[in-house]
Structure 1
Amino acid sequence: MKHSTVDRTSSRRKLAKGARPRPEWEKNLKDRKRINLNSYLFANLVIVSVLLIGLWNRKPVWDVSLRFPNLLLILVLINTVLIFREVILGGKPVQTRARQHKQSRQKLRNLNELRAVLRNSPHIDENLINRALLRLREISGSDAVALYILENTQCRQIASAGELPAALNGSRFLNRENSIFVKFPGSLGEEEVGKISAGNRAITFKSSLIRLELTALPLTLHENRFGLCVFSSREAHKTPPIPLASTALFLETLLALVDNAGNSGDGRYKDKSTGLFLFECFADSFETEVERSERYKQEMSMLTISIKGFTQLESSNAQQVAKSAAAALKQSLRRLDLMFCGKHDGEFLAILTETGAEVAEIVAKRVQKTFAKQNEKFDFIKSSDLKMFIGSAAYPADATHGDGLLEKSRESLNQAINENVEFKSYGAINQ
C-alpha cells in the first residue's frame, strides 16, 4: 500500500511538471509497427535460409531447380509484396494514418486558438476582426489575410493582416452570377477566381495574367450579403493547413456578432439616440476611406447635412427630428456607406463610397424626401420652419485629398443655405 502511494505521488509530480500520460492509441501504434517490422525481417530470414540451404546442397527446393537469377527474382517479388502489402490488401499504411491523425489534431488546435480570440475578448467591436485576422494569419502560414464584403458590384475591404501582394493591393473582387471575379488595376482586365459551390468550399486560384496565387474562402452573411476571406503569399503559396469549413463558420459568426453589436445603438462608438456613429469617429473613418479610394482609384462623395431650425426646437422635439434624420439616412444609404453625427446639434455627415457627384445628388434628394415623410407624423412640424440642407463634394473630381474634400463639402452646404436651396454640389458652384 505504501509503495502504491509513492508511485501515485511521483506520477502526480510528473503531471504537475507538464508531463502528460501517453495516449493508449500511440502505444498500440508503436507496438504494431514493431510487430510488423519483426514479421517482415523474420519472413525474409526464413526464405533466404531455405533457398541458400537448397543451393548449398544442390537440391531443388519445393521440386524447383533454382538458379541465382531466379533466387534474386523470387526475393524481389516477395519483398515487394511484403513492403506494399497495405496497398495490395487494402487499407492505409500505419505511418500514413498516424501522419493524418497528427495533422487533424494540429488543425483542431489551430481552430481552438482562433476561437480563443473571441472567447478572451472583453468587447465585441471592429477591432476584434483585426485581432482575429492576425491570429488567422499566424496559424495559416500565409503572408497576408484580407476580409472583403461584396455587395452588388461593390467591394470593400474591412480588415487585413500582413502585407498584401502588390497585385492584390489594387485589385477588387466581384460576385457575378454565382462566380467570383478579380478585377485588376489599370488595363489588365479581370479573371474568374472560381465558382461558388453549395457548401462555400475554398477556391484555389492562380492568375494567368500576373504573378498572383491565393485561396479564397466564400462567406455567407446575413441579409443576403456575401463575404470573402483571401489568403495569399508572395512566394510559393499553399492552401492554409486549417479546417477551412470551420474557419468560414467562425468568420461568419464573428461578422454577425460585430454587426449586431454595432447596430444595437449602445456601442461605445455610436450615439444612443440615433444609432449613428459619433463625430469623434469621423476623422479616422474618413481618412481610411480616402486612402482606400486613392489605392483602388475609386470615386467617393462627402455629404454635409444641416437642419435649419433644429436649435429652436424643444429638447424632446429635437430628439424626434434627429431620429427622423438618422432613419432617413439609414433607409437611403447603402450598407457600405458611413453615417455620422455632426459636430453641432442638427448636423450630420455621410461618406458615400464608390459614388460620383451625379449619384450623390440623387442620394441626397432621396434623404431629404424620406426625412420630410418621417416628420409628417409630428404635430409640431407644422408650426416650425424645419428644412434640411445638404452640400456635396466628390473625390477626385472636386478634391484629391481629404482636407480639401471636407472643406469643399462644407462650402457647398454654406452656399445652399445662403441661396435657400436644399442641395448644392461643389461642381455646381463653379459652373
Structure 2
Amino acid sequence: MNQAAAPTDAIDWARIREDFPVLRREVHGKPLVYLDSANTGQKPAQVIEAVDDFFRHHNANVSRAVHALGTEATDAYEGARRKLAKFLNVRGDELVLCSGTTFAINLVAYSWALPRLQPGDAIVVTRMEHHANIVPWQLVAERTGATIKVAEIDERGDLDLEQLYGLLTPEVKLLAVAHVSNVLGTVNPVRDICRQARKRRIVTVVDGSQAAPHRPLDVAAIGCDFYAITGHKMAGPTGTGALWARREHLDAMPPFLGGGEMIKQVRFEGTVFNDAPHKFEAGTPNIAGFIGLGAACDYLSAIGMDNIEAREQALLEYATGRLDATEGVRIFGRAREKAAVISFLVEGAHAHDLATLLDLEGVAVRSGHHCAHPLMQHYGVPATCRASFAFYNTFEEVDAFIAAIAKVRQLLL
C-alpha cells in the first residue's frame, strides 16, 4: 500500500488549507482557529462536492433496482468500500460498512462476544479507552457473567505493557485497546500487543478512530482480529465508518440487525442470510455519506498519510513547546510516541470556562471528560481541555491559541 505523495517539505499546506471552506469563517469576530479535529475532522470541498453530486445526479437506493440510477448508486457505494479497503490495506469482503466505531464495536460485542463468553471468562480493556470501547463490554459481561480487567498507564501516559501482559491469563478471551488515545494522544504498540494476545489465543479489538485520520495504516500487518474506524474524523461525512474483521469471524458471527439486504431468502419457516459483509448491513445505508468517505480516502491518499503524520507531528512539537513555556499550564500525557493531541488545564480555570473564554477569541477546543471517565479519574480531574491538530492547521494558529491562553490567564489573575 503506497499512500505517499510528494515529500512533506514540497507540499503547499496553505493551498491545501484552502480546500476547507469552514476554515475561512470567523467566530465572534475573530478568525476561526479550529483545534478540535479529534472530535470531528473538517471536510474538504472535494468531499462536499462528492456528496452533492450524488444527490443531484445519481440519487437512488443501492442493490434494489436495475435502472440506471440504482446501478450508479450501487457502483459508487461499493466503490467507496473498495477505496476504504485500499486505504486500510484490507480485503473489501472483510469490511463491514456502518455508522462508525461505536456501532462497529457493538457489532463485535453482540455478534461475537455475547454468544461465546460465559461465567469465568474475562475481557481486558485499558485505562485510556473511549467509552465506546468500555461500555459495550460491560453490557456483555453483565449478560454473560464474564468479568472485566483493566490495563493501567504509567506516569507518562503510556500503557504499562508489563502489567498488561500479566493480565493476559487463560480466562481472558478478548482484549480491547485503542490504537491512539483520544485524550492523551498516546500511540499504542498495537502490533506487538496483538502478537502477544495471539500467542495466548486472545481475540483483539482495536479502536482505530484516532489513528485512521492521522497516520499510515496497514491493518493487515497489525495482526488484530477486529479494527474499527469512524469516517467523520478522517475528513468524511458523519454517520460513516467501518469494521474490519477476519473472514473466519465474519462467517461464524450471527447478524446483529435483521431486515432488508442482509438476506438471501426469507420464509416463515426460516431465513437464509446473505454472505458477509452484507449480512451485517441491514437496511438502507448512508449511501451519500459513504461516497463522501470514499472521496475523503482519495483526498488523504493524494496528500500522503506519511506527509500528514509528519505535518501534524511538527505542529504538535511546536504547540507543546509553546505551552510548556506558558506559566500555569498543565499538560496531561507525555507518551514516548504521541499523536497531535494535547489535553491541558490552566491554573485557576475550570475546563469548561477555559474553553468558553478561548471560543470568544475564535479558538475552538474541546472541554469535558472526552468520553473517558476512567482516565479522568486516574488523573483526579473532572475534565480537561483538549487541543487536537490536523494537517490543515498552521503554526500561526498555534501562536493565536497561545495568545488566547495568555489573554485568559490575564482575566483570571
Whether TM-score is above 0.5 comes out as no
Greater relative contact order (CA < 8 Å, ≥ 6 in sequence)? 2
- Give the TM interval when normalised to the shorter protein: under 0.3
| TM-score normalised over the length of structure 2 | 0.27
| TM-score normalised over the length of structure 1 | 0.27
Query: Larger C-alpha radius of gyration, 1 or 2?
Result: 1
